[in-house]
Chains A and B, each alone.
Chain A
């Protein structure tokens, strides 16, 4: 039982990161109307930037974290015109071409990471950031500092996003565009500027996720982005594309499922089982469990 509780705690902290990733992904999907498949690759790139700045500054944490967040925002804002151009080429909302474009961006990021940083080898974050020190220990149950941070910041960040969406003027603009882009344009909502806000906001979120992932995993590798990208899209589809609440539930459930499977099944099979479960759900309900918001 203790092992089970320990795995649920692990799962909650991992799940909170999935929730953040899916929230950023859905934000771009709903407001900018793009499937940013490479969003997790941007996050992993930010992890590498954080690592690089920490190396260069002798583990200056505030600077490393700021650099990670800044890099994520910059990449998101730089890619915005590309996505906008692709969308305007098709003269209509075509999220499929944005997905292919995003995969191209993902290919570039992954290959740059596997050539330019640390000779393509995985990077390890310093103990001051990775926070794998146990905070509480009770039998087999051990809660690490990184887990508490990721869960705490995850809850705060998701609450902040929901607060922005439901209690602020830009948030109302976000939701209006998500509901009906043509209607939003008619009532004078600046579509382009609001879309750019969503790139910026998801960039900030991406930077935060990068720092949390660094704290939780303690390392990063070029292939991490692809695997996470895959899970984020799967969570998003299982929840129903663009469904923020669904993403929250499914993200947490995936984290817990993965952690429990890892606790009881050894080796690489554990990850495969999580993927089999995802595959079964997607095959059974290709349009999602909670209904798509598109």
Chain B
């Protein structure tokens, strides 16, 4: 697989997974930026396990998921039903503390970073295919779970909490437990994504996990459409890919472009490009055409 294509596809997949990890708690109006800190913690832990203790990659990946989920659960015990701004600041604080700890830990390379993570399949090409296969599998799994969540009672409960917490509580929704569940799942996804992020580049550096990454994920979620998980899938490749086609002088300003896109969409199209109404009408259209096709096939037989 060509290197450029590999990086484009794998980083797009990471952006989608990170954005989904942010989308999920936002269903109850929580901007959960701790996901980026969890990516760093899990990524570095997995890297350390593989490099120092020679733990197989598969186990290290599982530890990454578990670590992310564990931290997410512990934090959610305190902020499961906290106001959005408190959740935001907890996330930012976590990012800052995580970065400081990593910078001061020689075991994980400190400010120099962690380099030379091993090839998973024994050679670079196998490594790329394995990473791509894992990312594709993860995208399918998380996408399927999100789709099921959106069409479940839990999804409807989350929508109720987003619109009006008091109303949702009076309807019997346990806001705290729902918030805890979404935050924990979100952090689990982020943990595994962090491990894969490190192994894509076969290196880790604190500058991979900055507030800029938060901004990119936020732009993908809000410009794509925060009410469905599918806007993320459409926007992630566009937002990451389009700047790559621009001249290098313009590419340097991509964060300004992302910020401008975020501001414009919030002002002009607050629900983002892929709205819930659009997804529902697309689903009903597909279901009608499927029914028509089935009845047509029956008539023919």
Residues of chain A touching chain B, judged by Cβ–Cβ distance below 8 Å, are 35, 37, 82, 85-86, 89-90, 95-97, 99-101, 103-108, 110-112, 115, 226-227, 230, 233-234, 237, 241, 267-269, 271-272, 275-276, 278-279, 282-284, 286-287
* Contact residues, B199-244 vs A (CB, 8 A): 211-212, 215, 218-219, 222
Task: Sort A-B residue pairs by CB-CB distance and give the 5 closest, nearest first.
Answer: A107-B259, A104-B262, A286-B82, A108-B259, A272-B100
Chain A residue nearest to B80 (CB atoms) is A286
Q: How far is the CA of A105 from the CA of B267 in the complex (A)?
A: 12
Chain A residue nearest to B94 (CB atoms) is A279
B88 touches A86 (CB 8 A): no
Residues of chain B touching chain A, judged by Cβ–Cβ distance below 8 Å, are 29, 31, 75, 78-79, 82-86, 88-90, 92-94, 96-97, 100-101, 103-104, 211-212, 215, 218-219, 222, 252-253, 255-256, 258-260, 262-263, 266-267, 270
Contacts of B256 in A (CB 8 A): 107-108, 111-112, 115
Q: How far is the CB of B32 from chain A (nearest CB, A)?
A: 13
Determine chain A's interface SS by DSSP, over half rule. Answer: helix
A286 touches B222 (CB 8 A): no
Indicate the member of A110, A115, A282 with the most B CB atoms within 10 Å: A282
Contacts of A103 in B (CB 8 A): 215, 218, 262
B215 touches A271 (CB 8 A): no
Q: How far is the CB of B144 from chain A (nearest CB, A)?
A: 28
Q: How far is the CA of A86 from the CA of B100 in the complex (A)?
A: 35
Contacts of B94 in A (CB 8 A): 279
Q: How far is the CB of B176 from chain A (nearest CB, A)?
A: 12
B89 touches A230 (CB 8 A): yes
Q: How far is the CA of A106 from the CA of B266 in the complex (A)?
A: 14
Between A and B, 10 residue pairs with Cβ closer than 8 Å are A85-B267, A101-B267, A104-B215, A104-B266, A110-B255, A233-B89, A241-B83, A269-B100, A276-B97, A279-B93
A271 touches B266 (CB 8 A): no
Contacts of B253 in A (CB 8 A): 111, 115
Q: How far is the CA of A284 from the CA of B77 in the complex (A)?
A: 10
Q: How far is the CA of A278 from the CA of B89 in the complex (A)?
A: 9
Contacts of B75 in A (CB 8 A): 283
| Contact partner, B93, options A89, A111, A234, A286, Cβ 8 Å | A234
Chain A residue nearest to B101 (CB atoms) is A272
Contacts of A85 in B (CB 8 A): 267
Q: How far is the CA of A278 from the CA of B211 in the complex (A)?
A: 19
Given contacts A99-B31, A233-B92, A272-B101, 16 further A-B contacts (CB under 8 A): A37-B88, A85-B267, A86-B270, A89-B267, A95-B85, A101-B266, A107-B219, A107-B256, A227-B96, A269-B100, A272-B97, A272-B100, A283-B78, A283-B79, A286-B86, A287-B82
B100 touches A271 (CB 8 A): yes
Q: How far is the CA of A283 from the CA of B22 in the complex (A)?
A: 20
Q: How far is the CB of B192 from chain A (nearest CB, A)?
A: 24
A107 touches B262 (CB 8 A): yes
A108 touches B97 (CB 8 A): no
Chain A residue nearest to B226 (CB atoms) is A100
Q: How far is the CA of A285 from the CA of B88 in the complex (A)?
A: 14
Contacts of B101 in A (CB 8 A): 272
Q: How far is the CA of A268 from the CA of B211 in the complex (A)?
A: 18
Chain B residue nearest to A114 (CB atoms) is B255
Given contacts A100-B222, A112-B256, whether A279 and B104 have CB atoms under 8 Å apart is: no
Contacts of A284 in B (CB 8 A): 78
B78 touches A286 (CB 8 A): yes
Q: How far is the CB of A243 from chain B (nearest CB, A)?
A: 13
